[in-house]
Chain A
Amino acid sequence: MVEYILEMKHITKEFSGVKALDDVNLTIKKGEIHALCGENGAGKSTLMNVLSGVYSYGTYTGEIVYYGEVCKFDNIRSSEKKGIVIIHQELALIPYLSIAENVFLGNEVTHMKGVIDWNETERRARDVLSKIGMGNEDLSQLVNTLGVGKQQLIEIAKALAKKVELLILDEPTAALNDEESNILLDLIRKLKEQGITCIMISHKLNEVSRVADSITVIRDGHTIETIEKADKEIEEDRIIKGMVGRELTNRYPERNSKIGDIIFEVKDWNVYNPLNPMRKVLKNISLNVRSGEVVGLAGLMGAGRTELAMSIFGKAYGTKISGRVIKNGKELHLKSIQDAINNKIAYVSEDRKKYGLVLINDLKWNMSLACLRSRFSRHGVIDENEEIHAVENYRKIINIKTNSIEQRVGSLSGGNQQKVVLAKWMLSEPDVLLLDEPTRGIDVGAKYEIYTVINSLADAGKAVIVISSEMPELLGICDRIYVINEGEIAGELQREEFSQERIMKKIMNHIGREKSNNG
């Protein structure tokens, strides 16, 4: 007989009258890695919030049975006491505290009452970190000096310090590159060997298919099915079929690019780090985009792609910027972001919560923010009717799942928030579109929709530059790819030469060249 660690029965959860979860059932076997898949807004995060007590008992209906016992969690603490720990879509680390302090945040090691025992803290932190392969890290380092990949691992360490038995990870690899993701997934497998059960939400289906023992698919607040891994891995196409309810024959829409003349160009672009003006972040970058062309920027995390895009976007990043930006044969002198927007350049940020959205305000408000002056106002007075019409229109075009355009953006699902950011910049009707990780946290179906939008923008003669850490995505949607490494262009690939190996080879060659230059 199989032993279930968790059974969630007939869970229904409403938000002001709309059912986000409708009679959902979920059973988790002890010691397995169980993946939750489903479209944006399907209710995955909500289900996990119910489980972990973020939504307290009584705000939903249904039953949570954990180790055979009915549980009624009032808050996160009460679920943590039972060994259920959730790591949210957004990291919850305190940037200016050390690794050790973060690991025991809210769970401090004390002697007597309330006095922190630093020696014991250090010893135990070392213990926990060695379990996740970070035993050699300096424990007094501040967390904000670590990359996202390591921060994600610290989150797991934090969970381990709480004696976790059921670990919930909500899109843990969304912000990680392939290498970092692999480290994380290996760790999850290792934890499984130590008997820790794991629920993982992810839109990266290749990862899901690699590590998951079983997969539950949720659609529109209903459980659709649970797929068990028999003796071989569950295929991606099988998961997609469950998610969207039909076969998705192509991951990327057909591209029939009609490529014209160069319409956007950056020449000899040099940028220094604003916090450390001696350090050059970007060195002599030159690139161009032709009309109707989708150009990709590939590279490892920290290669300087985001910095490049932001510095072009009206010097939103960097100091001592030199070089030329040319649009339609005319040199632009962009001194501010407003300048860039006025010249029809748009930048869609990779971090929607921090840089893209005002979470306390509604969809309409957020979507019109970047073009209030140019599109929705006369003499500084806003034309609200015009605003509502345009916003409603774009909401339909990119299919944002929401009750109304007056829903608070903070209450949308992660993927739908991403769509709002995209719509916001489409509303500004740009000629040059800089897209930084435009599909982060977005489901397969929605990704396809966004690729289609990118295609149609390119077909309309716009210049589109896409940054992505998912190489297959760049290979699937771009006409040309620049490979960037350590702030320099390490090479360029035409569509005919596209392959992941070639991109990696360009990066490796470049790293080699750097070394021999320095040595």
Chain B
Amino acid sequence: MANTIQQKRIAVGNSVQQKRMAMSNLKQYGMMIALFLIYIIFAVLSDGKNIAPMNINNLVMQNSYVVILSLGMLLCCLTANVDLAVGSIVAFCGAAAAILIMDYHIAIPITVAIVLVMGVLVGMFQGFFIAALKVPPFIVTLANMLVFRGLTMVVLNGQTKGPLPQGFTQIGAGYMPQIFTQVGGTKIEILSLVAGILVSIVLILLEIHSRRNKIKHHFAVPPIWQPAIKLVVMIGVLNFITVKLAMYMGLPLVLLLMFVLIIVYSFITNNTVAGRQVYAVGGNVNAARLSGINTDKVMFWVYTNMGFLAGLAGVVLAARNASATPKAGDSFEMDAIAACYIGGAAVQGGIGTISGAVIGALIMGILNNGMSLIGWSIDIQRVVKGLVLLLAVTIDLYNKRKSS
């Protein structure tokens, strides 16, 4: 008798688990659907200008910095903090790169290395105040936002420094190897198409592998139509982008850079001890500490990492603009923070995903791009972005409350 009740409970449990899994997946798709809708709205408003090959290319290049920054910012958000200084650090590192190349004639690879190390050092500087001296991150990064913006002005004498040599601008505006052919009168870059197809195949194989693995270990798997739809959509989007890029100049280098970074950071947050520790610190500092996690060390590395990514974004931005300006990276921190929250990160910390942050960054990027295309002023753009952030977070919170 007791046994049958037990069994019933387990059976119920399994179906509930499946339902819940479907729910959480759906929520993630919600963001993606929003992304599509926004894109389509702007496609209509701009008479299709934003699906032009050149614009797709611009979208990738213009958004790369915010995507890069939001990867690091997500880790900050997971610990229930933010980094307000990244915009200034981006500017400072860009300025440093320009000065090293143009005034000191240092070789480009060495310059890049120096600037990245500088980013790391700035991050460590912030991390030291936060972790060792226990100054609240909000204050430390607010102060450094002013400090590094000021320093950028000083080292640049308030002037734009450029133009930077082509070897350097390649980093932000260059392409991967290209092979062009003519297909029906249009010039097509073959390698982008190949890359798109290869990645699609890898995606399919990975999904099959993980599903097999789960079944082998008798874990619950979602009904097959779910991953199927997910794959179809993902592959569709991927190849849409690569085809468009093929019709322009091929694969931008920054696309490769973003791709690698996204994979690395997804892996870190999902599959490594370090990633779990970041979530734990944000979820409950005390419990994390008593589980043997060195919470100060976690905070230190989160901000050091942010510094590194800010340095990298600084290089990419300077390279794309072929110059460094005192105003570079202005309000990038806000875009990155907004990206994380739009992507489902919780202000209380402990909740958020890399894929969410990337989608959030893309939503911000498509908004920026679309509104520029249809000629809305910067002021209106800010209003719209602000409202989107407010709306996204409100809907997210409302959903969470309803489901709990």
Contacts and interface: CB of A to CB of B under 8 A. Distances in A.
Interface of A: 16-18, 220, 313-314, 316, 336-338, 340-341, 347, 349, 354-361, 365, 369-370, 372-373, 377, 380-382, 384-385, 388-389, 402-404, 406, 411, 424
Task: Identify which of A16, A220, A340 gathers the most chain B CB atoms within 10 Å of its CB.
Answer: A16
Contact of A220 (B5, B16, B271, B279): B5
Given A361-B283, A381-B272, A388 B217 contact: yes
A406 B221 CA distance: 13
Contacts of B202: none
| Dominant SS among interface residues on chain B | helix
A403 B13 contact: yes
Given A17-B19, A360-B351, A369-B293, 5 more contacts: A18-B12, A341-B291, A360-B350, A369-B291, A388-B217
A356 B287 CA distance: 5
A201 B107 CA distance: 74
A336 B297 CA distance: 12
B286 A380 contact: no
Interface in B24-78: none
B230 interface: no
B1 to A, nearest CB: 10
B364 to A, nearest CB: 26
Contacts of A377: 272-273
Interface in B198-237: 213, 217, 219-220
A171 B198 CA distance: 60
A411 B290 contact: no
A290 B274 CA distance: 37
Interface residues of B, number: 38
Given A358-B284, A380-B274, A403 B291 contact: no
B12 to A, nearest CB: 6
B292 A358 contact: no
A369 B350 CA distance: 14
Contacts of B145: none
A340 B289 CA distance: 12
Contacts of A354: 284, 286-287
Contacts of A341: 291-292
A359 B348 CA distance: 12
A381 B271 CA distance: 6
10 contacts: A16-B16, A17-B19, A338-B292, A341-B292, A355-B290, A357-B284, A358-B279, A359-B283, A361-B283, A404-B14
A380 B5 CA distance: 41
B187 interface: no
B27 to A, nearest CB: 14
B17 interface: yes
B16 A18 contact: yes
Contacts of B19: 16-17
A316 B287 CA distance: 11
Nearest to A403: B13
Residue with the highest number of chain B CB atoms closer than 10 Å, among A341, A347, A385, A403:
A403
Contacts of A355: 286-287, 290
B272 A18 contact: no
A406 B222 CA distance: 14
Nearest to B404: A411
Given A381-B272, A406-B17, A369 B217 contact: no
B216 to A, nearest CB: 9
B294 A369 contact: no
Contacts of A313: 290
Contacts of B290: 313, 316, 337, 347, 349, 355-356
B207 to A, nearest CB: 16
B289 A337 contact: yes
Nearest to A366: B287
Contact of A358 (B9, B213, B217, B283): B283
Given A17-B19, A349-B290, A372 B217 contact: no
Nearest to A220: B5
A402 B20 CA distance: 14
B20 to A, nearest CB: 6
Contacts of B287: 354-358, 369
Contacts of A316: 289-290
Nearest to A389: B217
A313 B291 CA distance: 11
